[in-house]
């Protein structure tokens, strides 16, 4: 029997799901002599291992709680956890109830569900250039067209966005942003630009998807109100009148492996998303949600403080190393929080070519910038992560990279 030709049976939506060649290079990172700035993951030293063990033990030692934790549960999510999140949102200018909250399997699932709910093939998603690669991967399955979101409006009018979307056979359906210490740029959107984005979304009659993965990890400077809180304020404190969809996560503040994220929005959207959750995986793990509810109560604040202290030191080390080691013509962002900085290389140096040579010649790795663009790709960019390498490795790794860039600069 001949093997099935799978390409004949794949749906058109799978066509844009491809592994990248960068992945192949990044597979080499397990080699111990490579200093890697490629990751985007928390330092495992921050994981509250004992608190997780204690929480699991307490839940499973109590027959009533154990039965609940190991049973099927409602798609909306574990009520005490949603209450805790509603309280956190309230403290940050978003009065809401558990009915405004859906627990998701990481915020990544939230992005998938939102695209599933909002995008018909050919519709337009507005995304920044560059933006979070995982969001593009989630959105791609629903066959959108992308247009470049310029949060301060730039010189693109709402009418121009709408006309371009219509010409492509669809409508503009949402604007997606990572407003705080963005992945990949480390840049934070100013309050003025958040307001302008809301103006744009109002004119286009679309929602704003606010991906707040890094919001809690601010090392310095004034906190900027979330887009959802500004939207609530515009609407007399009533979340039901807002257009912003807030995606939160415990992955960067507590632990990613329990896979607990959340969406906060007006109830008509949440109710529809609950049906999507039901169809997708019924509910997030009850045991994990119950553990997370305990962690949130007992260790959230302390863990966020520890993460901020550790990552601030590493951000400082990276900024100092870049200043000391990068040749003229290289520029980088100065993040006030989060995990990343974004480096612009001299014209003519391609980030992917630099990665191949950096691994071969200097044993250093990072992510080339091109992967983060849906539109207007700039090849002369790279993303550096500072949550994983030690201070010592940051100095050594950046010295090596600076040396190589100097060799490649005409």
Ligand X SMILES: Cc1ncc(COP(=O)(O)O)c(C=O)c1O
User: What does the binding site for ligand X look like in residue numbers (CB under 6 A)?
Assistant: 40, 106-108, 132, 134, 178, 183, 211, 213, 249, 251, 256, 261
Shortest Cβ 368–ligand X spacing (Å): 17
C-beta of 259: minimal distance to ligand X in Å?
7
CB of 86 to ligand X, least distance (A): 18
Complex with ligand X: residue 132 or 146, whichever CB lies closer: 132
Residue from 128, 125, 151, 122 nearest 138 by CA: 125
Please state, in angstroms and rounded to a whole number, the distance separating the CA atoms of residues 181 and 387. 13
Contacts of 372 (CB under 8 A, 6+ apart): 130, 131, 132, 133, 136, 184, 383
Q: Please report where in the chains the tokens 């302008």 appear, as a residue.
A: 196
Nearer to ligand X, 261 or 395 (CB): 261
Minimal distance, residue 250 CB to ligand X, in Å: 7
CB 383 within 8 A of CB 21: no
Nearer to ligand X, 106 or 337 (CB): 106
Residue nearest to ligand X (CB): 106
**Closest to ligand X by CB, 252 or 294:** 252
Closer to ligand X by CB, 342 or 402: give it.
342
Closest contact distance (angstroms) between CB of 117 and ligand X is: 17
Q: How far is the CB of 146 from ligand X (least distance, A)?
A: 17
**Alpha carbons 217 and 236: distance in angstroms, whole number:** 28
Could you tell me if residue 349 is left (phi over 0), alpha (psi between -120 and 50 degrees) or otherwise beta?
beta
Burial 271-288 (b: 16+ CB within 10 A, else e): eebbebbeebeebbbbbb
Token pair listed for 215: 């919001």
Judged by beta carbon, residue 178 or residue 216, the one nearer ligand X is 178
Calpha distance 211→243 (Å, rounded): 14
């Amino acid at each position: 029997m001949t093997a099935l030709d799978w390409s004949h049976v794949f749906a058109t939506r799978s066509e844009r799901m491809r592994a990248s060649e960068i992945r192949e290079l990044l597979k080499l990172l397990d080699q111990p002599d490579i200093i890697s700035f490629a990751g985007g993951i928390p330092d495992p030293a921050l994981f509250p291992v004992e608190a997780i063990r204690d929480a699991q033990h307490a839940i499973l030692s109590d027959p009533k709680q154990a039965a609940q934790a190991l049973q099927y549960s409602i798609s909306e999510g574990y009520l005490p956890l949603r209450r805790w999140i509603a309280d956190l949102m309230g403290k940050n200018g978003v009065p809401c109830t558990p009915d405004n909250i859906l627990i998701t399997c990481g915020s990544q699932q939230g992005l998938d569900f939102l695209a599933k709910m909002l995008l018909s093939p050919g519709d337009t998603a507005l995304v920044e250039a560059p933006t979070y690669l995982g969001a593009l991967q989630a959105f791609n399955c629903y066959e959108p067209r992308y247009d470049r979101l310029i949060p301060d409006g730039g010189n693109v009018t709402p009418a121009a966005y709408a006309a371009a979307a219509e010409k492509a056979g669809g409508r503009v359906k949402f604007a997606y942003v990572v407003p705080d210490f963005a992945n990949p740029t480390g840049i934070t959107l100013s309050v003025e630009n958040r307001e302008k984005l809301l103006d744009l979304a109002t004119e286009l009659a679309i929602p704003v998807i606010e991906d707040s993965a890094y919001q809690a990890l601010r090392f310095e400077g004034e906190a900027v109100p979330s887009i959802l809180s500004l939207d609530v304020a515009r609407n007399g404190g009533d979340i039901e009148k807002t257009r912003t969809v807030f995606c939160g996560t415990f992955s960067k503040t507590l632990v990613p492996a329990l896979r607990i994220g959340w969406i906060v929005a007006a109830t008509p959207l949440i109710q529809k998303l609950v049906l999507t959750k039901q169809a997708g995986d019924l509910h997030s793990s009850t045991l994990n949600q119950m553990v997370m509810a305990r962690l949130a109560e007992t260790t959230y604040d302390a863990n966020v403080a520890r993460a901020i202290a550790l990552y601030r030191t590493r951000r400082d080390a990276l900024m100092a190393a870049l200043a000391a080691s990068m040749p003229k013509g290289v520029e980088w962002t100065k993040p006030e929080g989060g995990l990343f900085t974004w480096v612009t290389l001299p014209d003519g140096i391609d980030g992917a070519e630099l990665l191949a040579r950096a691994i071969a010649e200097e044993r250093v790795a990072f992510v080339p910038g091109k992967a983060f663009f849906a539109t207007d790709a700039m090849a002369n960019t790279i993303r550096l992560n500072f949550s994983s390498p030690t201070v010592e490795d940051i100095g050594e790794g950046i010295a090596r990279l600076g040396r190589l860039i100097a060799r490649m600069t005409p």
